Amino acid sequence: MMRLNKFLSSCGVASRRKCDELISQGRVTVGGKVVQELGVSVNEKKDVVCVDGERVMLPNELVYLKLNKPKGYACTAKDEKGRKTIFDLVKSDVRLFNVGRLDYDTEGLIFLTNDGNFANLITHPKFHIEKEYQVTIEGEIKESEIAVLRAGVVENGVRMPKAKVKFLSYDGKNTKLSVVIDEGQNRQVRRMFDCIGKTIVLLKRIRIGSVRLGGLSRGKTKPMTAEEIESFK
């Protein structure tokens, strides 16, 4: 027997937390009956489990891909606004889901897999997996403003998590910085710079854990190496 959210995640539907949402929304059936109770277990070899009417089954092989997401693509299998999604860029014979998200206007490294346990290792807050971004902002930035980002900016009276921030360059027009976070709140990096009145020109994720984007071209995928996968386990 296997918990339903783990089964769905292992089938490549989504992360466990997202699968809990699907269950609560009444979008999952087991043996033809809607299941909305969290914590239910299923027989992964016998039970017929469907999501939105489509049967899901455990994969025969596990797939791990790196994608260099371009701007202008949504991190979802199907976008409500009809926009292009990252899955328009991916060719795969198995059902994959994205590990975490990047904003529509943010580019860079994101993982695609059908391994729910792997996704949980990366996305669960308790593991504190670092994510590094290259941030280009308009104009210059003061050392005092960098210090505020490092300490955690205050937004609506609430202090955001600390960040590792390093100045990279200034070309007379824009400033480039490296920003490393390990929590991943919604639109965290953009909100940080909004709080100090800075406009982001380009936001690009270049590293997750020890895995780097490297020279992967925009819109292209590449299988993760065994060493990259094991670095999270």
pLDDT tens figures, 184-212: 788 999 999 999 999 999 999 999 999 99
**Stretch among 80-84, 86-90, 204-208, 217-221 having the lowest mean pLDDT:** 80-84
| Pair of tokens at residue 89 | 């860029």
CA distance 135 to 164: 12
Say if domain 64-126+211-230 classifies as CATH 3.40.50.12780.
no
Q: Is the pTM of this model over 0.85?
A: no
The widest CA-to-CA distance across the chain, in whole angstroms, is: 65
How far apart CA 222 and CA 102 sit, in angstroms, is: 18
pLDDT of residue 78: 82
Q: 20: part of which helix (H) or strand (E)?
A: helix 16-24
Q: Say which CATH architecture domain 2-55 belongs to.
A: Roll (3.10)
> What confidence tens digit (pLDDT) does each residue in 48-80 have?
999 999 999 888 788 999 999 999 999 988 888
Angle, to 10 degrees, between the axis of helix 116-123 and the axis of helix 16-24? 100
Q: Are 13 and 19 in contact (CB under 8 A)?
A: yes
Neighbours of 79 (CB within 10 A): 16
Q: Which two three-digit tokens encode residue 64?
A: 């791990």
Residue 168 buriedness (CB in 10 A; 0-12 / 13-18 / 19+): exposed
Looking at the chain, the whole-number percentage of residues with pLDDT higher than 90 is 75
150: left (phi over 0), alpha (psi -120 to 50) or beta: alpha
* DSSP letter (8 states) at residue 161: P
Say whether 79 is catalytic: no
Q: What is the pLDDT of residues 115-153, one digit of tens each?
A: 888 988 898 878 889 999 999 999 999 999 999 999 999
Q: What is the pLDDT of residue 93?
A: 79
Instruction: List the domain boundaries for the chain.
Output: 2-55, 64-126+211-230, 130-208
Distances (CA, A) of 168 to 74, 106, 141, 171, 184: 29, 19, 11, 10, 22
pLDDT at 15: 84
Q: pLDDT class for 14, splitting at 50, 70, 90?
A: confident
Please provide the average confidence, as pLDDT, over all residues in the chain: 93
* Candidate list 79, 103, 182, 194, residue with the active-site label: 103
pLDDT at 58 (0 to 100)? 86
Alpha-helical regions (H) of 27-176: 116-123, 143-151
Between CA 100 and CA 14 the distance in angstroms is 10
130-208 shares the fold of 64-126+211-230: yes
CATH of span 130-208 = 3.30.70.1560
Within the chain, strands assigned E span 2-3, 28-30, 33-34, 41-42, 49-51, 54-55, 64-69, 97-99, 107-113, 131-138, 154-155, 158-159, 164-170, 174-181, 200-208, 211-212, 221-223
Select from 18, 101, 99, 7 the least CA-distant residue to 48: 7
Tokens (6 digits) for 9: 């995640």
Q: Would you tell me how many other CB atoms lie within 10 Å of the CB of residue 141?
A: 19
